[in-house]
């Protein structure tokens, strides 16, 4: 077996949906004669950016991968460009090259910004990351105003509202195409619940709603597929582990950042869902989006993605006692984080 085939098999094993049979060596199809999407990764030289770029370089849904960072982009691009997949890799470094990176993009994924160190909350990143996300979004409004935008940079509860306000100011806001990436919470919930009930993680699906920080992360264990029966104590413990999972990784990395590999995997899957939706397929994902499902202006929930972005909000369903209590508890923190993001754009 050749090295390329082994990589293809590995990626196919990781995600048969976005790495269909044939993986990196997939034969051209009739669809491949039409222009495949250009995907930009902003923050591409970072802990998330590099493995995310690797996974997207192996995706047969991507036409061009545009890598952008303020430092080190060329090395990452040179390295990836030796992989024998048809995805074209381009790179640009520094603010004056942002336009080049974003030109003609269909999907922009943003993992740019600083990560947590032990003892910090995600909100502690606001002072640095708010400005980074606002500047990058101003670039998106200027150079690829029709692109889908997937935001990873923390605090997601605030950076997505920041992006929305920047786009509104520029007159380019389309709420259907602005998505906060909360998929890692879903992967964690699936993994931890599967462990608890002795099932394969791939066979478990847990909706996670709310936001992406501590108590704002609300796994709906009562809506797990397949149905799980765990004691109230176990459900509480599982919920808390899912809420604190980012901190678990920050502690384990002991000052060397936060989740990067699992996040890159989650982001690659999420990006693939967006690209499938752009092709006209209907895909359900959990994402943090502008929403009218609750009285909060932004809320993470299951949404149906289609060609024009978020096309349907799936109902939240009924909550059990623990979920009802946790839903009440998340509202004031999430509302405050949203307002903080909105105020940042209007006061700066
Ligand atoms: N949404 C989620 O579930 C998760 C979010 N994160 C967040 O993702 C962000 C990135 O994390 P890591 O990749 O580990 O950090 P990192 O520090 O390893 O990488 C960040 C990259 O962003 C670049 N960067 C900084 N300013 C920039 C700018 N103005 N334009 C373009 N690039 C710029 C840096 O040069 C660096 O290469 C953090 O804010 C982290 O908290 C991390 C894990 C999960
Ligand atoms: O915990 C962090 O700072 C990074 C993150 O958002 C996560 O891993 O969920």
> Who's near 172: CB < 8 A, 6+ residues apart?
140, 141, 145
ipTM of predicted assembly, 2 dp: 0.99
pLDDT digits (tens, 9 = 90+) for 289-315: 999 999 999 999 999 999 999 999 999
Q: How far is the CA of 247 from the centre of ligand 2 (A)?
A: 7
- Determine the pLDDT at residue 24: 28
Q: Of 92, 107, 103, 108, whose CA–CA distance to 153 is shortest?
A: 108
- Determine the pLDDT at residue 207: 98
Residue nearest to atom 5 of ligand 2 (CA): 246
* pLDDT reading at 31 higher than 90: no
pLDDT digits (tens, 9 = 90+) for 245-256: 999 999 999 999
- Determine the pLDDT at residue 189: 98
The residues that bridge with 310 in the sheet, in sequence order, are 305
Ligand 1 nearest atom to the CA of residue 132, by list position = 29
Q: What angle do CA 184, 196, 270 make, to 5 degrees?
A: 15
- Determine the pLDDT at residue 99: 98
Q: How confident is the model at residue 325 (pLDDT cuts 50, 70, 90)?
A: very high
Give the DSSP letter of residue 26.
Answer: P
SS3 content of the chain, % helix, strand, coil (to 5): 50, 15, 35
- Quick one: average pLDDT of 254-275? 98
Catalytic positions are 212
Burial class (CB in 10 A: 0-12, 13-18, 19+), 95: exposed
Q: How confident is the model at residue 4 (pLDDT cuts 50, 70, 90)?
A: very low
Average pLDDT over the chain, rounded to an integer:
91
Does residue 113 or residue 11 have the better pLDDT?
113
- Determine the pLDDT at residue 32: 39
- Determine the pLDDT at residue 16: 30
Q: Give the separation between CA 286 and CA 27, rounded to whole angstroms.
A: 31
- Determine the pLDDT at residue 20: 28
Q: Give the separation between CA 254 and CA 262, rounded to whole angstroms.
A: 17
Among residues of the chain, what percentage have pLDDT more than 70?
A: 91
Q: How far is the CA of 153 from the centre of ligand 1 (A)?
A: 6
Alpha carbon 214 to its chain centroid, in Å, reads 17
Here the tokens at position 110 are 């943003």
Residue nearest to atom 9 of ligand 1 (CA): 153
- Determine the pLDDT at residue 34: 72
In the block, residue with structure tokens 């979004």? 137
- Quick one: average pLDDT of 331-342? 98
- Quick one: average pLDDT of 59-70? 98
What does each C-alpha distance from 216 to 18, 133, 168, 293, 334 come to in angstroms? 29, 21, 25, 15, 6
Ligand 1 pocket: which of 111, 188, 300 to mutate (most atoms within 8 A of CB): 111
Q: How far is the CA of 337 from the centre of ligand 1 (A)?
A: 19
What does each C-alpha distance from 336 to 74, 123, 157, 267 come to in angstroms? 39, 11, 9, 26
Q: How confident is the model at residue 348 (pLDDT cuts 50, 70, 90)?
A: confident
**Ligand 1 binding pocket, CB closer than 6 Å:** 42-43, 45-49, 68-71, 111-116, 125, 129, 132, 136, 152-154, 156, 181, 184, 212, 257-260, 263
- Quick one: average pLDDT of 12-20? 31
Q: Give the separation between CA 202 and CA 205, rounded to whole angstroms.
A: 8
pLDDT digits (tens, 9 = 90+) for 210-233: 999 999 999 999 999 999 889 999
- Domain locations in the chain as residue ranges: 3-180, 183-340
- Determine the pLDDT at residue 334: 98
Q: How far is the CA of 111 from the centre of ligand 2 (A)?
A: 12
Q: How far is the CA of 30 from the centre of ligand 2 (A)?
A: 40
Q: Any idea which fold 183-340 has?
A: L-2-Hydroxyisocaproate Dehydrogenase; Chain A, domain 2 (3.90.110)
The residues that bridge with 225 in the sheet, in sequence order, are 205
Residue nearest to atom 9 of ligand 2 (CA): 246
pLDDT digits (tens, 9 = 90+) for 85-134: 999 999 999 999 999 999 999 999 999 999 999 999 999 999 999 999 99
Ligand 2 pocket: which of 188, 189, 246 to mutate (most atoms within 8 A of CB): 246
- Determine the pLDDT at residue 2: 36
- Return the minimum-mean-pLDDT range out of 26-40, 196-210, 234-248: 26-40
> Who's near 109: CB < 8 A, 6+ residues apart?
39, 40, 41, 42, 52, 150, 152, 181, 267, 271
Q: Give the separation between CA 282 and CA 305, rounded to whole angstroms.
A: 6
Q: Of 180, 170, 161, whose CA–CA distance to 139 is shortest?
A: 170
Ligand 2 pocket: which of 47, 158, 250 to mutate (most atoms within 8 A of CB): 250
Ligand 2 nearest atom to the CA of residue 247, by list position = 1
The residues that bridge with 39 in the sheet, in sequence order, are 65, 107
Q: Is it true that domain 3-180 has CATH number 3.40.50.720?
A: yes
- Quick one: average pLDDT of 186-190? 98
Q: Of 94, 96, 126, 99, whose CA–CA distance to 113 is shortest?
A: 126
Q: How far is the CA of 113 from the centre of ligand 1 (A)?
A: 4
Return the ligand number nearest the Cα of 213: 2
* pLDDT reading at 148 higher than 80: yes
What does each C-alpha distance from 136 to 42, 50, 101, 237, 305 come to in angstroms? 8, 18, 11, 38, 24
Here the tokens at position 284 are 């359900």
Angle between helices 321-347 and 156-170 in degrees, nearest 10: 40
Q: Give the separation between CA 185 and CA 219, rounded to whole angstroms.
A: 8
In the block, residue with structure tokens 């605090």? 155
Is 240 in contact with 332 (CB distance < 8 Å)?
no
């Amino acid at each position: 077996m050749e090295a390329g085939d082994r990589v293809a098999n590995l990626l196919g094993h990781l995600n048969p949906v976005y790495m269909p049979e044939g993986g990196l060596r997939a034969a051209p199809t009739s669809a491949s004669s039409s222009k495949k999407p250009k995907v930009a990764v902003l923050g591409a030289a970072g802990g998330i950016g590099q493995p995310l770029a690797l996974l997207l370089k192996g995706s047969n849904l991507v036409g061009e991968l545009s890598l952008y960072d303020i430092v080190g982009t060329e090395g990452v691009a040179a390295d990836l460009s030796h992989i024998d997949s048809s995805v074209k890799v381009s790179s640009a470094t520094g603010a004056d090259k942002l336009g080049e990176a974003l030109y003609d993009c269909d999907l922009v994924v943003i993992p740019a910004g600083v990560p947590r160190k032990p003892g910090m909350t995600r909100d502690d990143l606001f002072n640095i990351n708010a400005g980074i996300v606002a500047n990058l979004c101003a670039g998106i409004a200027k150079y690829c105003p029709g692109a889908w935008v997937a935001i990873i940079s923390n605090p997601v509860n605030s950076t997505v509202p920041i992006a929305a306000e920047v786009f509104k100011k520029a007159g380019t806001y389309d709420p259907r195409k602005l998505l906060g990436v909360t998929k890692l919470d879903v992967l964690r919930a699936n993994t931890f619940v599967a462990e608890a009930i002795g099932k394969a993680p791939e066979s478990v699906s847990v909706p996670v709603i709310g936001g992406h920080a501590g108590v704002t992360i609300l796994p709906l264990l009562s809506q797990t597929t397949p149905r799980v029966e765990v004691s109230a104590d176990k459900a509480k413990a599982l919920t808390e582990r899912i809420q604190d999972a980012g901190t678990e990784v920050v502690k384990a990395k002991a000052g060397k950042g936060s989740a990067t590999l699992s996040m890159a995997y989650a982001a690659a899957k999420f990006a693939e869902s967006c690209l499938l939706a752009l092709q006209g397929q209907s895909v359900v994902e959990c994402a943090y989006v502008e929403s009218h499902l609750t009285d909060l202006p932004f809320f993470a929930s299951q949404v149906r993605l289609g060609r024009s972005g978020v096309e349907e909000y799936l109902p939240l369903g009924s909550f059990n006692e623990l979920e009802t209590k946790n839903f009440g508890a998340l509202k004031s923190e999430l509302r405050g984080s949203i307002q903080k993001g909105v105020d940042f754009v209007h006061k700066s």
